[in-house]
Amino acid sequence: MPAENAAREHGVHPRHWTLQNIAQMKQQLLSWGMAYDWERELATCHPEYYRWTQWIFLKLFERGLAYQKTAAVNWCECCTTLANEEVLADGTCERCGRTVTQKDLQQWFFKITDYAQPLLDDLKLLERWPENVRAMQANWIGRSVGARIVFEVVETGAACPIFTTRPDTVYGVTFMALAPEHPLVETFLPNNPRADEIRAFVERQKKISAAERSRENIRPEGVFTGFHIRNPYNGAEVPLWITNYVLMEYGTGAVMAVPAHDERDFAFARAHDLPIKVVIQDPAASQREGEHLSQAYVEDGILINSGPFNGRPNREAMAEITQYAQAHQFGEASIHYRLRDWLISRQRYWGAPIPIVHCAACGAVPVPESDLPVLLPDDVDYLSEQGNPLASHAGFINTQCPRCAQPARRETDTLAQWLCSCWYFLRYLNPRLPTAPFNRQDVDGWLPVDQYIGGIEHAVLHLLYSRFIVKVLHAAGYCSFREPFQSLFTQGMICKRSASDGQLYKMSKSKGNVVSPDELIRENGADTVRLYTLFIGPPEKDAE
């Protein structure tokens, strides 16, 4: 994405821009006296490399781990689709800083969620990784143990399943909160006098990124649907709202709201004058009703107003409350992961083409391995800002179905850069091998990597993706190890104040705070710069 944007800005083809920068950076490294084995140099944009990136895609497709669906995705007007990991906490793009919104698009995903538990379990094998990186990955995977409970829409009978880690509070539900993207929302619109208000709220929320909506200090907003939900435990009918603080990405996109025992639900209930029902009593306090609470009670206690479970310690009763749902066939124990499937398609030109052909008769058909690489054409209008230029390139699009030989269309989305960069260490061992991405004997003899060095900003991006790809290759029999990197060192950043706001950031052209090594070496000499770099400070710390 940066290469494509820069090429457009400078009026140079992305390929020439990229290769020119590679040559310049290589010369800088040589002038600095960096002792690399340049015979192992590779570039992910070369067809002889991305041929094997496409091969990896096909291996995941064969194993049912690559699929296409329409989904609400993070959208940046500059960088197009973004994975969740590429959106900053303030709802902006990590690359260009623009505001990220939600957009429904047909996209390709990898089922990284199928590997959620192995990715979590095998963190214990990474004893030589920094503890904070392992914690970041564990939190990103986000394993939660709880219950799946099916509520019912009173007016239509439609099922509304929820996932909760707090089944002990189910008797305290006083409203149901849906994500704006929840599929039930569309069913509430026909002949609904609130339809315009609902549509306006939903459209407004779609312009706000999931990262922004998930901030802890976001002001709770919502719209009443005019519909109600029936609680299967006690038959209570409560209003069904669409809110800004419930995300489709977590659980089922529906939350049973218990204001007395959840801070966000409490704030929403107070703002919209909704009931608050206490079901967990503080053992050290006298019984208080919801209207007398000044804040949600989120500690443990004794169950009250909870039918047959009254008088029980809430944690002790959790399993029985879940078993009750299972016995009455409206729920069950469940494990949920925060991790979402990996969005790997981009509506961009400069990337490895996805090796799929779309046929009216056969559907999505993989390109035969013998036809790899699917080459990225050079003769595109890369200066255009009207979407992906591949989508209007007839010579690239029009082809034959590999299965039935009828006219078909190539996939025009390209693969996210993360896929190209999450297996390169396997290729280093034999970068000119023409018949396979790597030699099994070589990788089993030399890998996993003994010492890996990389920034902590890759904790839930490159490092997690590399672990996933290696696990898939291991399961498919292509390597003997399950983890790519035995030891990890996360170096600090060399930072400089931005020319625009004076704040300290890692060096970036977009921030206008880059220091050219050429100038430093020319003015001070390579030895001085090398020595200064070594003594600038602890390598794990940022430095200005």
Q: Are residues 43 and 150 in the same domain?
A: no
Compute the residue count for the chain.
Answer: 544
In this structure, the answer to whether residues 317 and 448 fall within a common structural domain is no
Give the confidence band of 146 by pLDDT, cuts at 50, 70, 90: very high
Q: What percentage of the chain carries pLDDT values higher than 90?
A: 69
Q: How many helices (H) and strands (E) does the chain have?
A: 17, 23
Residue after which a domain boundary falls, among 489, 516, 538: 489
How big is the chain by its Cα radius of gyration, in Å?
27
Specify whether 192 is located in the same domain as 312.
yes
Name the phi and psi angles at 485, rounded to 5.
-130, 115
Residue 218: per-residue pLDDT: 79
Residue 24 CA to residue 14 CA, distance in Å, equals 15
Q: Examine residue 108 and state whether it is found in any structural domain, yes or no.
A: yes
Of 311, 337, 363, the residue at which a domain comes to its end is 337
At 290 the pLDDT is 55
Nearest to 113 by CA among 365, 353, 335, 356: 335
Asked if 125 and 150 sit in the same domain, the reply is no
Domain membership flag for residue 530: no
Tell whether 509 is covered by a domain: no
Residues 408 and 455 in one domain: yes
Inter-CA distances, 248 with 34, 201, 266, 385, Å: 48, 15, 21, 31
Residues 89 and 201 placed together within one structural domain of the fold: no
520 in any annotated domain: no
Write out the residue range of the structural domain in which residue 186 sits: 144-337
Residues 174 and 269 in one domain: yes
How many Cα atoms within 13 Å fall on the side-chain side of residue 129? Answer: 24
Half-sphere exposure (Cβ direction) of 342: Cα atoms closer than 13 Å: 28
Joined tokens for residue 98: 């623009």
Read off the pLDDT of each residue in 332-349 and give the average, rounded to a whole number. 93
**CATH code, domain with 246:** 3.90.740.10
Tell me: do 64 and 200 sit in the same domain: no
Chain centre to alpha carbon of residue 166: 25
Angstrom distance (rounded) from CA 1 to CA 14: 10
The pLDDT assigned to 524 comes to 92
Per the prediction, the chain carries an average pLDDT of 91
- 275 shares a domain with 167: yes
Asked whether residue 525 is domain-assigned, the answer is: no
Distance CA 134, CA 459 (A): 8
Each residue of 167-199: pLDDT tens digit? 999 999 999 999 999 999 999 999 999 999 999
Residue 420: CATH number of its domain:
3.40.50.620
Q: How many CB atoms lie within 10 A of CB 57?
A: 26
Cβ pair 466, 422 in contact under 8 A: yes
Q: Is residue 516 part of a domain?
A: no
Find the range with the poorest average confidence among 11-25, 81-95, 456-470, 526-540. 81-95
Q: How many domains does the chain have?
A: 2
Whether 328 and 348 map to the same domain: the answer is no
- Each residue of 5-27: pLDDT tens digit? 777 788 889 899 999 999 999 99
Per-residue confidence (pLDDT) for residue 141, from 0 to 100: 96
Can you state the angle between helices 517-524 and 526-535, rounded to 10 degrees? 110
What pLDDT score was predicted for residue 131? 96
Burial of residue 103 (number of CB atoms within 10 Å: 0-12, 13-18, 19+): middle
Q: What is the pLDDT of residue 89?
A: 66
Is 137 part of any domain? no
Determine, yes or no, domain membership for 200.
yes
For residues 232 and 252, state if they share a domain.
Answer: yes
**pLDDT for residue 291 is more than 70:** no
Of 337, 352, 377, the residue at which a domain comes to its end is 337
Tell whether 209 and 247 lie within a shared domain: yes
H-helix or E-strand spanning residue 121: helix 116-121
Contact 65, 114 (CB under 8 A): yes
DSSP 312-340: SBHHHHHHHHHHHHHHTTSEEEEEEES--
